[in-house]
Amino acid sequence: MADHDRGYRLLFSHPEMVADLLRGFVREDWVRDLDFSTLEKVPGSYVTPELSNRESDVVWRLRWGHDRLLYIYLLIEFQSTVDPFMGLRMMVYLGLLYQDLLQRRELTPAGKLPPVLPLVLYNGHAPWGAAQEVSELIEEVPGGLERYRPQLRYCLVDEVQIADSDLESLRNLVAALFRLEKSRGPEDIQRILAALLDWLREPHLAALRRSFSAWLSGVLLPARVPGIAITQVADLQEVKSMLAESVMEWTHQWKQEGLEEGRQEGLQKGLHKGQEDALEKAREVLVRDLERRFGLLPDEVRRRVDAIASIEELTEFVLRAGAAASLDALG
């Protein structure tokens, strides 16, 4: 599992994060009836008959109303590409979850399986265009056969598509996480950190503060300022102090790396035709982004990137790369 995925999984192992995710980003009437004080994390690893472990799941349960248990199945999906068959993946994972619940006899008072919210978090650049209902993935045959298509819909939280103004207006831990992901410089991070330090002052939130610190110093900052050594710290106040001491150097590095305007915005909007130096910088950013996703690039892919000679070619390549699930899919 990638460091980014592990960092998110750590953060969403805290009940406060799960509660704020549901309160702030699942805007449905039934959420008002949840008793967030009963949130309890449950095992999220299942073994299929082929002995293939599922270990990246985050599963919680809590009371819905007075006497009903609701299981929240969080599939943490942090790839920067869209999986067109995510509905099928969710159906398989939920089948394993329900099989496990049945074996452990975790049924409702009526002897039925408990309801589950399948939820996907996505932070890729390309708009999420995959079907959210699994039946849409199956060819429809007229004459009655369509009645037997399985039906399962998952809830999608696409953090990149949420307006910055909407996030800034929320006193919400998950909104702060999304703002950190979308931050454009050390100054932005400092402002968000100040809010987090205020919201996480209570002693019982010390573990969540440490998780945010670990994610910031171990995942987010190293990705934003490659080449600069980031000290691993265990306290948010230390992260804030580190940022204050290094803000000038890091801001310069941020600009040099072409990341201040965001990877895709910088590639698509921040360049001008005929400016070879800007194109060269954009090609370097593109290579780093591809290597972050797919590992060391083959020489053939590097040559293709080096051959990009215009804004139009660059934009087309970025869009194609954003939707590709592998290097082979680049065509």
Per-residue pLDDT tens over the stretch 3-24: 566 778 889 889 999 999 999 9
Does 10 share its domain with 138?
Answer: yes
Where is the domain boundary, 204, 234, 256? 256
Question: Of 319, 317, 296, nearest to 306 (Cα)?
Answer: 317
Q: What mean pLDDT value characterizes the chain? A: 78
Where is the domain boundary, 196, 229, 256? 256
Between the CA atoms of 157, 163, 165 and 170, what dihedral angle is there, to the nearest 10 degrees? 0
Considering its fold, how many domains does the chain have in total? 3
Q: Is 69 within the bounds of a domain?
A: yes
Q: Is 174 within the bounds of a domain?
A: no
Q: Is 233 within the bounds of a domain?
A: yes
Q: Is 22 within the bounds of a domain?
A: yes
Three-state SS letters, 170-229: CCCHHHHHHHHHCCCCHHHHHHHHHHHHHHCCCHHHHHHHHHHHHHHHHHHHHHHCCCCC
Does 82 share its domain with 201?
Answer: no
Which of 52-61, 100-109, 199-208, 304-313 is predicted most confidently? 199-208
Does 252 share its domain with 271?
Answer: no
What's the pLDDT score for residue 267?
A: 47
What lies within 8 Å, CB to CB, of 211 at 6+ separation is 10, 11, 13, 14
Given a cut of 70, whether residue 252 has pLDDT beyond it is no
Helix (H) or strand (E) holding 6: helix 3-11
51 — alpha (psi -120 to 50), left (phi > 0) or beta?
left
Q: How confident is the model at residue 273 (pLDDT cuts 50, 70, 90)?
A: very low
Query: Region 224-241: what's the mean pLDDT?
Result: 74
C-alpha span between 214 and 225 (Å, rounded): 16
Q: Is 138 within the bounds of a domain?
A: yes
* Long-range contacts of the stretch 254-258 (C-beta < 8 A, 24+): 254/184, 254/185, 254/186, 254/224, 254/225, 257/224, 257/225, 257/226, 257/285, 258/282, 258/284, 258/285
What are 151-208's pLDDT values in tens digits? 999 999 988 788 888 999 899 999 999 999 888 777 888 889 999 999 999 999 999 9
Q: Which of 14-28, 81-95, 207-221, 259-273 has the lowest mean pLDDT?
A: 259-273
Query: What's the domain range around 236?
Result: 183-256
Q: Is 171 within the bounds of a domain?
A: no
Does 133 share its domain with 87?
Answer: yes
Q: How many CA atoms are closer than 13 Å to the CA of 266, on its beta-carbon side?
A: 21
Distances in whole angstroms, Cα of residue 220 to Cα of each of 77, 85, 177, 288, 331: 17, 28, 11, 15, 31
What's the pLDDT score for residue 270?
A: 45
Q: Look up residue 295 and give its DSSP letter.
A: S
Does 121 share its domain with 252?
Answer: no
Q: Is 239 within the bounds of a domain?
A: yes
Which of 37-51, 141-155, 245-259, 310-324 is predicted most confidently? 141-155
What are 93-141's pLDDT values in tens digits? 888 888 888 988 888 888 888 888 888 888 777 778 899 999 999 998 8
Does 204 share its domain with 157?
Answer: no
Where is the domain boundary, 127, 161, 195? 161
Query: Region 67-84: what's the mean pLDDT?
Result: 67
Does 23 share its domain with 77?
Answer: yes
Does 95 share its domain with 213?
Answer: no
What the block records as the tokens of 293 is 């996703």
62 C-beta neighbours (distance < 10 Å), count = 20
Strands 116-122 and 68-76: parallel
Q: Is 311 within the bounds of a domain?
A: yes
Given a cut of 80, whether residue 148 has pLDDT beyond it is yes
Share of the chain above pLDDT 90, in %: 22
Does 85 share its domain with 147?
Answer: yes
Does 152 share its domain with 120?
Answer: yes
Q: How confident is the model at residue 271 (pLDDT cuts 50, 70, 90)?
A: very low
Does 34 share its domain with 147?
Answer: yes
C-alpha span between 276 and 266 (Å, rounded): 15
What's the pLDDT score for residue 237?
A: 85
Higher pLDDT, 331 or 24: 24
Does 252 share its domain with 267?
Answer: no
